[in-house]
């Protein structure tokens, strides 16, 4: 799922499924927005590989709305990753 949708997974559901992010950029109340992987976001959850600084996955949010989850490949490119709805 890569588009904003009120039917997307909740923050709690993503946290439960993926665990706590390794890093976070921005917040749901951040007025500045960014665009990455074709979606607008103001909060980014970063998941790094265990015992590594390599980024494996990012989850993007705009306010409380899920914008998308992306698997980051070793070459830095990314592909959308489906997450279960709620």
pTM (2 d.p.): 0.86
Structure tokens that stand for 17 in this block: 């499924």
CA distance 70 to 49: 14
CA distance 74 to 39: 21
**Which pLDDT value is given to residue 5?**
46
pLDDT tens per residue, range 33-57: 999 999 999 999 999 998 888 999 9
**Which pLDDT value is given to residue 8?**
86
pLDDT tens per residue, range 15-24: 999 999 999 9
């Amino acid at each position: 799922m890569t588009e904003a949708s009120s039917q997307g997974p909740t923050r709690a559901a993503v946290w439960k499924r993926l665990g706590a992010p390794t890093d976070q950029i921005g917040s749901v109340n951040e007025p500045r927005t960014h665009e990455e992987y074709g979606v607008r976001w103001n909060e980014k959850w970063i998941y790094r590989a265990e015992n590594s600084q390599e980024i494996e996955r990012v989850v993007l949010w705009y306010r409380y709305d899920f914008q998308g989850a992306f698997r980051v490949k070793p070459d830095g490119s990314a592909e959308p990753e489906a997450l279960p709805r709620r």
